[in-house]
Structure 1
Amino acid sequence: MTKAERALETRERILGAACEVIAEIGFENVSMRKVAEHAGVSKALLHYHFDTREKLFAEAMTHSFAQTGTDLEGEDGASVPATVLLARIVRTMLPTDAELRQDWKLWQELWARAQRDPAARHLAVDLYDQLHTWVAGAVERGIASGEFQQCDVPALSTLVLALSDGLGIRVMLDDPRVDLATARSTIWAAIAPALGIGPEFPEV
Structure 2
Amino acid sequence: MTTKVRGTADTRERILTAACEVIAEIGFEKIRMRMVAERAGVSTALLHYHFDTREKLFTEAMTHSFAHTALDAERDADTAPAAVVLARILRNLLPTDPELHQDWRLWQELWARALRDETTRVFAVDLYAELHAWVTGAIRRGIDSGEFAPADVDDLGTLVLSLSDGYGIRLMLRDPAVTLDTALAAVWRHVAGALGLPAELPEEPSET
TM-score (norm 1): 0.96
Question: What is residue 31 of structure 2 aligned with on the other side?
Answer: 30
Question: What is residue 172 of structure 1 aligned with on the other side?
Answer: 172
**Alignment of structure 1 residues 153-164 onto 2, 5 Å:** 153-164=153-164
Q: Deviations over 1:41-98 (max 9, x none)?
A: 1111110111100000010000001111113244x44121111111000000000000
- 1:70 aligns to what SS in structure 2? helix
CA distance in 1, matches of 2:149, 2:6: 46
Q: How many positions carry a matched residue from both structures? A: 203
CA distance in 2, matches of 1:198, 1:184: 14
Question: What is residue 130 of structure 1 aligned with on the other side?
Answer: 130
Question: What is residue 62 of structure 1 aligned with on the other side?
Answer: 63
> Does the CA contact (< 8 Å) of 1:171 and 1:179 recur in 2?
yes
- 2:7 aligns to what SS in structure 1? helix
Structure 1 residue 147 displacement after superposition: 1.5
The one-letter code matched in structure 2 to 1:103 is D
> Does the CA contact (< 8 Å) of 1:73 and 1:80 recur in 2?
no
Q: Tell me, which stretches of 5 or more residues in structure 1 are unaligned? A: none
Question: What is residue 52 of structure 2 aligned with on the other side?
Answer: 51
CA distance in 2, matches of 1:181, 1:77: 24
Superposed CA RMSD: 1.1
CA distance in 2, matches of 1:58, 1:73: 23
> Does the CA contact (< 8 Å) of 1:61 and 1:106 recur in 2?
yes
**Alignment of structure 1 residues 102-117 onto 2, 5 Å:** 102-117=102-117
CA distance in 2, matches of 1:186, 1:113: 30
CA distance in 2, matches of 1:159, 1:124: 18
The one-letter code matched in structure 1 to 2:198 is G
Question: What is residue 183 of structure 1 aligned with on the other side?
Answer: 183
Moved more, 191-200 or 59-68: 191-200
Percent identity over the alignment? Answer: 65
CA distance in 1, matches of 2:8, 2:46: 10
- 1:69 aligns to what SS in structure 2? helix
The one-letter code matched in structure 1 to 2:200 is E
Structure 1 residue 203 displacement after superposition: 1.4
CA distance in 1, matches of 2:73, 2:101: 17
Moved more, 42-51 or 188-197: 188-197
Q: Deviations over 1:19-44 (max 9, x none)?
A: 00000000000001111111111111
> Does the CA contact (< 8 Å) of 1:82 and 1:147 recur in 2?
yes
CA distance in 2, matches of 1:82, 1:184: 17
The one-letter code matched in structure 2 to 1:31 is R
The one-letter code matched in structure 1 to 2:175 is D
